[in-house]
């Protein structure tokens, strides 16, 4: 079935098709219509789930932690400062290895207040131990949500599905809604190994000593450091797991095939733009114009940001002369986080491309195609002039 709906409805439809059992909901712009749509699905009987309105985002994640600990497939969604209010609980969910799925409709962070789009909210939470997927359009939103439940429950790590506020959350685009039977065949019911059970009482996530020690059965139990090492190793393993899940999804639905990066005109390109979210599709107009002028340039959208798919990026950028990283977030006092990660991945390669970093669109600042065209054209003409200092696009005044 083909629908023309908003990105928030695409996300909610993916949650419904995934048969989430517990939904924790707290409103925040521009995420609110997503959970409102889920409430409609539950109220109409289209979706069999517990819909739990709460008093804050912190409580929303607490509900998900409790429900997931009890063995339920759980979901919530948020944006901006709501995500930051969850931060303590995000660490807990990851450390407890709970397969929660959460959509983040990306929005700038206050102060000062803004309701418009950038990526600073989710990028600021990149190190809490959650997997992060970024969608470029509505079809990727619904598909990523379904794959996210499979991934989270396979590796026992929570997953964020991130998509641009307003640019995707509120715009209407066509997307295909898969049949419920097909999704059921792809995504098996959640079958947790460890969960809270009154018939089999257990303690979860009690105070853990710094060193290994015997457990109540006399077997050696990991200390805090071993638990963190296991999370890191399983995050790295999640790269291969996502590739397998995406392959299965492609066989079932004939969509996907690029679980890590989505290239456009990159195979013969000397110059490649790297970015995340809807910006990668915005750049396609720029690429087409420059291609018409004879410039061999392409764009590559990062779809998996945590764990960082370094080997896939090295492979995709092998032999390129010039790499331009555009991002709607930054690591204050350093560089753009995506730029730093990409540069780190390429550090050990024998033939490193020239690189440059561009910051744009913060707080919803308009991103003009003409600006992108001029910046990329100049970089392609003389990439040796590119430095390591981030270049701000669209900055009209400085204090």
Q: Is the pLDDT of residue 397 over 80?
A: no
Is residue 235 in a domain? Answer: no
Q: pLDDT tens digits, residue range 11-54?
A: 999 999 999 999 999 999 999 999 999 999 999 999 999 999 99
Q: Is the pLDDT of residue 217 over 90?
A: no
Q: Is the pLDDT of residue 398 over 70?
A: no
Number of domains observed in the structure of the chain: 2
Is residue 11 in a domain? Answer: yes
Which positions ≥6 away from 177 have C-beta within 8 Å?
A: 1, 2, 3, 13, 17, 142
Q: Is the pLDDT of residue 399 over 70?
A: no
The predicted pLDDT at position 214 comes to 84
Q: pLDDT tens digits, residue range 110-149?
A: 999 999 999 999 999 999 999 999 999 999 999 999 999 9
Q: pLDDT band for position 187 (50/70/90)?
A: very high
Domain boundary among 186, 207, 231: 186
222-236, 349-363, 384-398: the lowest-pLDDT one: 384-398
Task: Assign residue 350 the CATH number of its domain.
Answer: 3.40.50.920
The predicted pLDDT at position 195 comes to 82
Q: Is the pLDDT of residue 384 over 90?
A: no
Please give the structure tokens belonging to residue 108: 């700038």
Q: Which domain holds residue 388?
A: 261-392
Task: Assign residue 166 the CATH number of its domain.
Answer: 3.40.50.970
Domain boundary among 186, 217, 239: 186
The predicted pLDDT at position 213 comes to 84
Q: Is the pLDDT of residue 104 over 70?
A: yes
Q: Is the pLDDT of residue 197 over 90?
A: no
Q: Is the pLDDT of residue 177 over 80?
A: yes
Radius of gyration for the chain, computed over Cα atoms and rounded to the nearest angstrom: 21
The predicted pLDDT at position 194 comes to 81
Q: pLDDT band for position 206 (50/70/90)?
A: confident
Q: pLDDT band for position 278 (50/70/90)?
A: very high
Q: pLDDT band for position 88 (50/70/90)?
A: very high
Q: Is the pLDDT of residue 200 over 90?
A: no
- 289 and 178 within one domain: no
Is residue 272 in a domain? Answer: yes
């Amino acid at each position: 079935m083909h629908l023309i709906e908003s990105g928030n409805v695409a996300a909610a439809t993916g949650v419904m098709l995934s048969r989430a059992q517990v939904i924790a909901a707290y409103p925040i712009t521009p995420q609110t219509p997503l959970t409102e749509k889920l409430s409609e699905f539950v109220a109409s009987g289209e979706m069999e789930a517990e819909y739990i309105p709460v008093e804050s985002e912190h409580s929303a994640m607490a509900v998900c932690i409790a429900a997931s600990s009890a063995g339920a497939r759980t979901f919530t969604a948020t944006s901006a400062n709501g995500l930051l209010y969850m931060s303590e609980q995000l660490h807990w969910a990851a450390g407890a290895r709970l397969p929660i799925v959460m959509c983040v409709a990306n929005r700038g962070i206050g102060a000062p207040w803004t309701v418009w789009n950038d990526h600073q909210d989710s990028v600021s939470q990149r190190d809490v131990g959650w997997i992060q997927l970024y969608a470029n359009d509505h079809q990727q939103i619904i598909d990523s949500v379904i794959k996210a439940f499979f991934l989270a429950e396979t590796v026992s790590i929570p997953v964020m599905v991130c998509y641009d506020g307003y640019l995707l959350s509120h715009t209407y685009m066509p997307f295909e809604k898969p049949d419920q039977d097909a999704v059921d065949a792809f995504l098996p019911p959640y079958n947790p190994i460890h969960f809270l059970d009154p018939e089999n009482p257990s303690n979860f996530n009690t105070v853990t000593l710094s060193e290994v020690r015997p457990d109540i059965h006399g077997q050696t139990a990991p200390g805090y450091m071993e638990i963190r090492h296991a999370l890191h190793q399983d995050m790295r393993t999640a790269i291969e797991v996502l590739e397998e899940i995406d392959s299965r999804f492609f066989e079932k639905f004939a969509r996907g095939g690029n679980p890590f990066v989505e290239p456009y005109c990159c195979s013969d390109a000397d110059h490649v733009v790297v970015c995340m979210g809807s910006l990668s599709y915005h750049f396609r107009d720029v690429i087409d114009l420059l291609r018409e002028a004879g410039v061999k340039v392409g764009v590559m959208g990062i779809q998996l940001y945590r764990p960082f798919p370094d080997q896939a990026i090295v492979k995709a950028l092998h032999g390129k002369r010039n790499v331009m990283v555009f991002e709607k977030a930054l690591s204050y006092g350093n560089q753009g986080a995506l730029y730093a990660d990409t540069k780190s991945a390429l550090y050990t390669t024998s033939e490193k491309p020239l690189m440059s970093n561009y910051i744009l669109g913060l707080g919803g600042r308009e991103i003009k195609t003409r600006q992108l065209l001029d910046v990329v054209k100049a970089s392609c003409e003389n990439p040796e002039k590119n430095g390591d200092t981030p270049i701000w696009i669209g900055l009209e005044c400085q204090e």
